[in-house]
Amino acid sequence: MRILLTPLFRAFEQFDDPAFRRVLLHSLLWTALAFVGLMVGGSWLLLHLAALTGWWHAGIVGGFLGVIIVALLTYLLFVPLATGIAGLYADQIADAVERRWYPGLPAPSGASLVAQSWDGVALGIRVLLAHLVGLIFLVVLPGLGIFVGWAIAAWAVGRGLFVLVAMRRARRADAITIYSGRRLSVVLQGALLTAMGLVPLLNLLVPVVGVAVMIHLLHAPAEAARRAGA
């Protein structure tokens, strides 16, 4: 359990770093705006669909179901959107984390911007398709659907953020190979971050904390080898 939580604890320890806090504030602003936008957009869409179908006349039950639907849509869309926001600040977050915890590393030289962008698009398509499957489970088997949705989010956040930071120092193909060798650890960290995403206000920290966590996970084997040889 300690090994699982160490990257997360280190990420929170980084909050005393002025450079880290500066990036955190910018990310918080954009993440909060995205969250509000999803809530407002989801409510607007639901109201217009209800008006067209006459469903809103179902009264209190309809209103209650509407709130649940908007909350679910916001949750499903917020995870990949938060991951995208993290990409805007990944380099600054990674620089701050590596400067504090892994000094002496060479300057990052990894995948091209085109390769990184393509990976984001490809992952986004896969996440969208996976969420469509998750929605089917949610409608047919609500209890199982919630678990499936959480598992999809854990995979999406973990894989997306880990490969994102790995591509700073490796080609896309190599970054994916590294991810494949640490898939379980990455998904477990993604599950922790997804759980954070369910907590109001704490969910706004997911983009920055997530990148920091994956930086620690990326460098963990080299750090362990260094300590073993010391």
Q: Report DSSP letters for 164-197, one per residue.
A: HHHTTTS-HHHHHHHHHHTHHHHHHHHHHHHHHH
Angle between helices 206-229 and 2-13 (to 10 degrees): 120
What is the C-alpha separation between 18 and 25, in angstroms, rounded? 11
B/e letters for 20-53, b = 16+ CB within 10 Å, e = fewer, are beebbeebbebbeebbeebeeebbeebeeebeee
Please count the other Cβ atoms lying within 10 Å of the Cβ belonging to residue 177.
12
pLDDT, position 42: 66
Which parts of the chain register pLDDT below 70? 1-2, 42-43, 45-80, 82-83, 138-139, 142, 229-230
- Number of folded domains that form the chain: 1
Q: Which residues contact 26 (CB under 8 A, 6 or more apart)?
A: 89
Residues in the chain: 230
Q: Domain for residue 7, yes or no?
A: no
What is the C-alpha separation between 90 and 88, in angstroms, rounded? 6
What is the C-alpha separation between 156 and 127, in angstroms, rounded? 6
AA letter at 153: A
Q: Domain for residue 4, yes or no?
A: no
Contact 213, 193 (CB under 8 A): yes
Q: Domain for residue 2, yes or no?
A: no
Q: Domain for residue 228, yes or no?
A: no
What is the C-alpha separation between 180 and 80, in angstroms, rounded? 20
CA neighbor of 122 nearest in space, from 90, 164, 93: 164
Q: Domain for residue 3, yes or no?
A: no
Q: Domain for residue 6, yes or no?
A: no
Instruction: Please give the residue range of the domain that contains residue 52.
Output: 12-222
pLDDT, position 48: 66
Q: Domain for residue 136, yes or no?
A: yes
pLDDT, position 61: 47
Q: Domain for residue 229, yes or no?
A: no
